Amino acid sequence: MEQDIPVVEGRAIVRNYHVPGSMLARAKSVPALKGIDFKVGKGKTLAIVGESGSGKSTLARIIALIDAPSGGELRIAGEPVDIGRRRPGPGLRSKVQMVFQNPYGSLNPRQKVGDVLMEPLVINTDIPAVERRDRAEAMLKKVGLLPEHFNRYPHMFSGGQRQRIAIARALMLNPSLLVLDEPVSALDLSVQAQVLNLLADLQDEFELTYVFVSHDLSVVRYIADEVMVISKGEAVEQGSREALFANPQHPYTQSLFAATPVTDIEAIRARVTRRKAARAAQAR
């Protein structure tokens, strides 16, 4: 059954970073990922949650076929992929695309938006120039920008608009899998909501599969189907969003929940009452 083949699957993914030696220090190997298993079905969203240094971005780069894992097996649409041995060709690149955290850094400031969008087509396909332009303009509309933005430079756009451009670029090759590394954490709250809505709309329209890396549990709760919590290179907890948010099992997950600020009215009321009582006691 074709439906049963996960869009992306990882088995015991390991990644070590090699720190070269110097006069004073020996070379050493730092394990960033210590054997991660996951799979994501078509049209679903896997959220990878963790704090800085947990290895979540390393995993995202491996899934996006940017870095090779040191060990384990990565399968895209059921096919084993080893970019360490063979560079991915246009076919594979078209299947997997990535959106980065900082839309200020991920767009070339000297490249017009139109060229940003057409570049993946130039590199990976032989679509003629006229059609490339049509596709780029159509994609601009799709992500909520205007065709006249085609000839503008990235600095003329706000952070939210730039992230829309980065998403548009990632979608130009009709990928089935989009890896999003903290796509909304550099954005203001109101803009964040717009971009999250856009991602949800695009997922519905194109049956996209998302791997969504985030440190923000409230965003994850909104967007994810499955959640994986990683800490120090290990997946400490994995499960459906409902199960994980209703009943987090691992102490690390629980500590993440406990640390996340809540805007719940009753919690605020309790805090305000507590403070008033403490002050009254001090005044006495």
Task: List interacting residues with other proteins (CB under 8 A).
Answer: 51-52, 159, 188-194, 196-197, 200-201, 215-219, 221-223, 255-256, 258-265, 267-269, 271-272, 275, 278-279
Tell me how far apart the alpha carbons of residues 262 and 192 are, in angstroms, rounded to a whole number: 18
CB of 282 to other proteins, least distance (A): 8
CB of 217 to other proteins, least distance (A): 8
Work out the end-to-end distance of the chain between its first and last CA atoms, rounded to an integer number of angstroms: 74
CA neighbor of 104 nearest in space, from 161, 159, 168, 152: 159
Tell me how far apart the alpha carbons of residues 176 and 63 are, in angstroms, rounded to a whole number: 13
Pairing status of strand 8-19 against strand 71-76: antiparallel
CB of 246 to other proteins, least distance (A): 14
Q: For residues 22 and 190, which CB has a smaller minimum distance to other proteins in the complex?
A: 190
Tell me how far apart the alpha carbons of residues 171 and 202 are, in angstroms, rounded to a whole number: 9
CB of 75 to other proteins, least distance (A): 30
Give the tokens for residue 283.
Answer: 């005044």
CB of 188 to other proteins, least distance (A): 4
DSSP single-letter state for residue 8: E
Q: For residues 66 and 267, which CB has a smaller minimum distance to other proteins in the complex?
A: 267
SS3 228: strand
The one-letter amino acid code at 92 reads L
With contact defined as beta carbons under 8 Å apart, do 54 and 60 qualify?
A: no
Neighbour order of strands in the sheet with 234-240: 96-99, 177-181, 209-214, 45-49, 226-231, 234-240
Q: Which residues pair with 29 in a beta bridge?
A: 18
Q: For residues 174 and 197, which CB has a smaller minimum distance to other proteins in the complex?
A: 197
CB of 80 to other proteins, least distance (A): 35
Q: For residues 44 and 95, which CB has a smaller minimum distance to other proteins in the complex?
A: 44
Q: For residues 5 and 200, which CB has a smaller minimum distance to other proteins in the complex?
A: 200
Q: For residues 129 and 272, which CB has a smaller minimum distance to other proteins in the complex?
A: 272
